[in-house]
Amino acid sequence: MSDWNRSVVLGEPYRLGLCPPPGGCKTGRVPLPSMYVLGPLLAFGAVLALAGVLRWTFGRDLRHVPIHSGPPDYGLLKPVATVGDPLTAYELRRMLREADIRSTTVFSEDAQLAVLVFEDDLDRARQVVN
């Protein structure tokens, strides 16, 4: 069959290379399906190994961390009152707000509520609370 007849019989897609030739495709050796499983498993194993090395290198050793045993540190805030009832803490904060003093509450170590104010407002806050 000549090329002209082949292009007429098989049509335009054959000439453009979109269809396989009449003799079939030459695919060579196709990789085994196990290769498609082995690649992701190797990548996952490499990530696990890297995570282990990084954890071993940069892991936190708790034996060298000092235990905080001093008074609580609130940064720029100072405690003005310690109460055991959230409603009382809310009332103290309302009184401080009326005096234009910013405040917040935090649970202290002994399960009490501490009302905190900035150090600059501490004297005025003590006068409002007392």
CB 82 within 8 A of CB 112: yes
The model's pTM: 0.48
- Percentage of the chain lying above the pLDDT 90 cut: 42
| Alpha carbon of residue 15 to chain centroid | 55
3-state secondary structure of 17: coil
pLDDT at 7 over 50: no
Q: Each residue of 34-73: pLDDT tens digit?
A: 777 888 899 999 999 999 999 888 877 666 656 666 677 8
CATH of domain 77-129: 3.30.70.1530
Average pLDDT score, the chain: 79
| Alpha carbon of residue 71 to chain centroid | 31
